[in-house]
Structures are given as structure tokens and as C-alpha cells.
Structure 1
Amino acid sequence: MKTGTKGIALIKEFESLHDGDLKKVGLQPKMDPVGIWTEGWGRVMRDNKGNFLKGIANKALAESRATISTVLEADNALKDDLKTYEAIVARKVKVNLSQNQFDALVSHTYNTGGSSTLFDLINKKSTKSVIKNWFETKYITAQGVKLKGLVRRRKAESDLYFS
């Protein structure tokens, strides 16, 4: 399966188009709430060792490594990145999914890297209330702080999954 328009719209809504410096022409990297540098539609940036590029001290490095400066480049990068997350969902979920379920899981995986627990609940055909509760109560914090944006995102993913 491929991510549909609802899934792409959900990711774009919550990732927003990253432009860390509105005084400069083109899109610029910005830090997410936990200090990880991102560009485009939330694409994480990494150092030479493959670790997340973090912290304000790495602003110049993030800017020098940026590969996305236009909306078209951001959209193309998202399409390319989605292949990775679609493959994770396809590999981990062993039951048939509707398009909305697939889209919700790709959005969740794009943001979190994926959850074995969530995939197991779905594969075991757990009840709607168990899956919905898990969706809406996990992965809603950053560095121990509950973030309203993550709460809203998990609710939106849950709503899409069960629509």
C-alpha cells in the first residue's frame, strides 16, 4: 500500500513546513520540541555518525547540511521518506488494513519510528477500545512533558484509524 491523501494531509498538518529562519530566503532547518534539527515536513537531520543533529550549538551545521529549501523539495522529500515508513508498517502488520488504517499507522510511524506494541495489538485483533486507548495515551510526551500537539496528533491518528 501507499500512503493516501488523508495520511499525507495528517502528516503535513502536524509536522508543518519547517522554516526556522523567516528572515532568510527559502526554507531553513528548525529544531523540534526536543531539540532535534529537522527540515521540510519534519525530516530529521543527522550528524556524520548517523545520530540526530541536536541543540542550538548545531544550528550552523544544520543550516550547512540542509537539502530542502522549497516547498516542492519538501514535498518530494516527504514522498521519498514515506517509502521507509510504509515498508515498516507493511512488514510489521500482518492483518489486512483499510486505506485509513494504513495512513494512520504510517503517520504514527513517521513521527515515532513505529511501535511494536501497537503493531502487536493490531495483529492480535485487540478490541477497538484497547487500540484506541493505546493510540491516544502513548507517545504523547517529549522529555517527560506531555505536549498538546502530540495529544492532538495521536487523537487524529486514532480517529483516522477508526474512520
Structure 2
Amino acid sequence: MRTSTTGQRLIAEFEGCKLTAYKCPAGIWTIGVGHTSAAGKPVVKSGMRITQAEADDILARDLVRFENAVARVVEVPLNQNQFDALVSFAFNLGEGALASSTLLKKLNAGDYTGAADQFARWNKVGPKVLAGLTRRRAAEADLFRRPVTGASTVPATPAAPTIPRAPTGLLAALLGLFRRS
């Protein structure tokens, strides 16, 4: 499963996009759409600048990292909205926070409602409640609770890669004609 446009918008709305490195409220050097050195390359330093194209590339890599993190730790089926909310949560707080959270424990026990209620607990930096984190956690919980119309839940684990089969029948015959030309 990959993050939908809705999930990407949620992350971008709360992270913003800054092309010059800055320290986030937790004091961590950040650039682009919420990228920190903890998420991988590039290492973010004071005075660092990137282009919008670089910010887009970094975001794409970071999303894959956190999508894979969600897929690794979630043991129950998720709909797209639930997956997106968890990717946003992990993107903001890190893989370790998700992996060790009561939110995940409740989710993996099949308690989807209890899991959704846990988002609100993650609105602090140290002992200080941040309004922006409170809004983000509320948006993630709302997305997590929102049903996906016309779609069913699917396992969060990535699908095994398909192995292409050699063409057979009419397709094989047609391809054979083109190879001889």
C-alpha cells in the first residue's frame, strides 16, 4: 500500500515545505517537507538549502521509508485512510514511536476505536502541549476513523512482487512475428 493523495496532503499541510534548513519545535534540523537526518539522506545542517525539485525527491523517499515502517509493524488489515493516518503519524514522530506505541498495540489487537483514540496522546514535545500537534493528531484520528467508500480493507504488508510470466498463445505468436522482423 502507498500513501494516497489525501495522505500526502495531510503530511504537507502540517509539515509545510521550507527550502532552507530550520529547527523544528523539538529542536531538530529540518528541511523540505519535514525531512530530518533521522529519515535518511541528506543530512540536514544549518544553512543548508535545497530546490523544490530536491524537496519533492526527498519527500518521495521519506514516504517510502515510513510506508514500509507501517507495513512492517501493523498486523491487521487497514483501509487507505487508516494507512495514510499511520504514515503521517510515523512521518512526524518516527518509526520507533509508532512501533512502541499503545496505539499500535491496540490496533494489532483489533481495537481500531481504541487505536484511533490514542492519536490525541501524542501532542507534546517534552511536557509541553503544542497546538499544531494537537491539530495534527486530531486530523490523523479523523482520517483513521473515516471509512473508504467503495473499497475494502487490505493487509498493510506490501504485496509480494509478481514474477512476469512468458506470454502464451496468441500473444506469444504475435510477439514472435515482431522478433523476426
Q: TM-score range by the shorter chain?
A: 0.7 to 0.9
Q: Which has the larger radius of gyration?
A: 2
In structure 2, give the amino acid aligned to 1:122: L
Distance in 2 between residues matched to 1:127 and 1:93, nearest whole Å? 12
- What's the CA shift string for 1:36-85, capped at 9, x where partnerless? 11000011136xxxxx97xxxxxxx422xx3x522221111111111111
State the partner residue of 2:50. 69
Please report the RMSD computed on the Cα atoms of aligned residues, expressed in angstroms.
Answer: 1.9
1:32 aligns with 2:24: yes
Q: 1:132 — aligned with what? A: 116
Cα distance in 2, alignment partners of residues 75 and 157 from structure 1: 22
Report the AA paired with residue 118 of structure 1.
L
- In the TM superposition, residue 127 of structure 1 has moved relative to its aligned partner by 5.0
* Residue ranges of structure 1 left out of the alignment (5+ in a row): 19-26, 47-51, 54-60
CA apart distance, 1:88? 0.8
More strand by share: 2
**Corresponding residue to 2:128 among 128, 131, 145:** 145
On the 8 A contact 1:30/1:37 being kept in 2, the answer is yes
In 1: Cα distance, 2:145 partner to 2:14 partner: 19
Letter paired with 1:45? S
The equivalent position to 1:118 in structure 2, one of 95, 103, 108, is 103
Deviation at residue 143 of structure 1 after TM alignment: 2.4
Describe the SS at the equivalent of 2:70. Answer: helix
Task: Report runs of 4+ in structure 1 exceeding 4 Å deviation.
Answer: none
Shift of 1:119: 1.5
> Are the aligned partners of 1:39 and 1:45 in contact in 2 as well (CA < 8 Å)?
no
Q: Which runs of 5+ in 2 are unaligned?
A: 147-181
| Offset at residue 132 of structure 1 (A) | 2.6
Partners in 1 of 2:8 and 2:128 — Cα distance?
27
* Match among 22, 40, 65 for residue 84 of structure 1: 65
